[in-house]
Amino acid sequence: MNDGAGSSRKKRVFSGMQPSGEAHLGNYLGALSRWVDMQDDFDCIWCIVDDHAITAGGDPAELPGHVFDLAVSYVAVGLDPERAIIFVQSDVHQHTELAWLFNAVTPVGDLERMTQFKDKSQRFESVPAGILNYPILQAADILVYKSDAVPVGEDQKQHIELTRDIARKFNAAYGDTFPEPEPLIGRAGRILGLDGDAKMSKSLGNTVPILSEPDEIWERVRTAVTDPQRVRRDDPGRPEVCNVFALHGHFGDAALVEDVATQCRAATRGCVDCKRILSENISKRFAPFRARAAELKAKPTLVREILDDGANRARAIAEETLREVRERMGLDWRRGVPNG
Ligand code: SF4
């Protein structure tokens, strides 16, 4: 394994995902497949952000299992502990420590303007401070490793802007310490759920877990909403408004996508057959993930070792940053003790 100290000249990227168990198709298309591809070109740090997860509530008894399941998904899809640091956020307390220190330079108004804060806060009668401060912890996650870039979806761009603002404000107040990380926006765009309505999300039940068996994948895909105007099999369809067609674009080659569109418009293939093809292609793509996940689940200590090793390497980098930050902020009281 590399030492994780970023001695190479590769740019460093950080990203993380909240643990809600096994990853799903939306996680794969929107994030994980990109992260896998980035591992040759960047110095990568992939995190399971359990400190963030507690702001969403949930049963504490289930959280450790969700972390394990997400770790299995990470490694099964190809995140590689030999080429990246893979770890759990709560193992590296420097994230939360830096978040506290960033409170000193982050205006409350900036946090209140976050779109996600406005959305999420409506769900609470009394809004927990963690919902407001969440982007500060995100900034700390990224900046504690002095990351150069962050692969994110369009919906996270505003949070990266805030991270850049925090870095700027800190540098202005305490001296040049942090880079201003760039958002690397993915091409996958917004992945709609099988309901064709909302973003793919486990809580909405509109997705496909990536480790599903082929028949489970079909059970999910067969429920996918299609062009509402295609009521009978001989009604011509409109692939451009059908989410199944959009998903074909992620799992089939150009010739298949063209064939799907042509047959849809000509009503020469029914929606059930069209979904069958999609389901089989998803199943084929995910087959190696299922096999690798089965191996990992049979050897849970291997997963623990990967995460322990990742945490050690992450901690070494993060502590170096914190040492510098504490010193710049005057949090090294021993310097004030007179000699003698
Ligand atoms: Fe969608 Fe395929 Fe049905 Fe056309 S044939 S509406 S692309 S599911």
Fold type of domain 12-191+300-336: Rossmann fold (3.40.50)
How many other C-beta atoms are found inside a 10 Å radius of the C-beta of residue 237? 25
Dist. CA 234 → ligand 1 center (Å):
12
In the chain, where are the structural domains located?
A: 12-191+300-336, 214-293
pTM above 0.75, yes or no: yes
Task: Kindly list the distances between the CA atom of residue 60 and the CA atoms of 51, 53, 66, 297, 333, in Å, as whole numbers in the listed order.
Answer: 12, 10, 10, 22, 37
Check the CA dihedral 22-25-29-33 and report its sign. Answer: positive
* pLDDT value at residue 198: 79
- Distance CA(64)–CA(172), nearest Å, equals 39
**Set 10, 120, 169, 297: catalytic member:** 120
- Distance CA(116)–CA(132), nearest Å, equals 9
Dist. CA 224 → ligand 1 center (Å):
10
Do residues 334 and 328 make contact, with C-beta atoms less than 8 angstroms apart? no
Say if residue 54's pLDDT is above 60: yes
Exposed (0-12), middle (13-18) or buried (19+): which is 326, by Cβ within 10 Å? middle
Asked if 120 is an active-site residue, the reply is: yes
Residue whose entry in the numeric block shows the structure tokens 């990536």: 210
Please choose from 195, 218, 230 the residue to mutate so as to test ligand 1's pocket, defined by most ligand atoms within 8 A of CB. 230
Residue whose entry in the numeric block shows the structure tokens 């303007």: 113
Residue whose entry in the numeric block shows the structure tokens 């870039």: 149
Q: Counting every residue, how long is the chain? A: 340
* pLDDT value at residue 3: 43
* pLDDT value at residue 196: 82
The mean-pLDDT minimum among 39-43, 83-87, 105-109, 189-193 falls in: 189-193
- Distance CA(286)–CA(56), nearest Å, equals 29
- Distance CA(246)–CA(221), nearest Å, equals 13
- Distance CA(124)–CA(121), nearest Å, equals 6
Asked if 284 is an active-site residue, the reply is: no
Tell me: the pLDDT tens digits for 232-285? Answer: 888 999 999 999 999 999 999 999 999 999 999 999 999 999 999 999 999 999
* pLDDT value at residue 162: 96
Please choose from 260, 273, 281 the residue to mutate so as to test ligand 1's pocket, defined by most ligand atoms within 8 A of CB. 260
CATH number of this structure's domain 214-293, picked from the four choices 3.80.30.20, 3.40.50.1000, 1.10.1740.10, 1.10.240.10:
1.10.240.10
* pLDDT value at residue 57: 80
* pLDDT value at residue 8: 55
* pLDDT value at residue 5: 45
Computed over every residue of the chain, the mean pLDDT equals 93
* pLDDT value at residue 189: 72
* pLDDT value at residue 237: 93
Residue 186's pLDDT band (cuts 50, 70, 90): confident
Do residues 91 and 144 make contact, with C-beta atoms less than 8 angstroms apart? no
Query: Which atom of ligand 1 lies at the shortest distance from residue 265's CA?
Result: 4
- Distance CA(7)–CA(3), nearest Å, equals 8
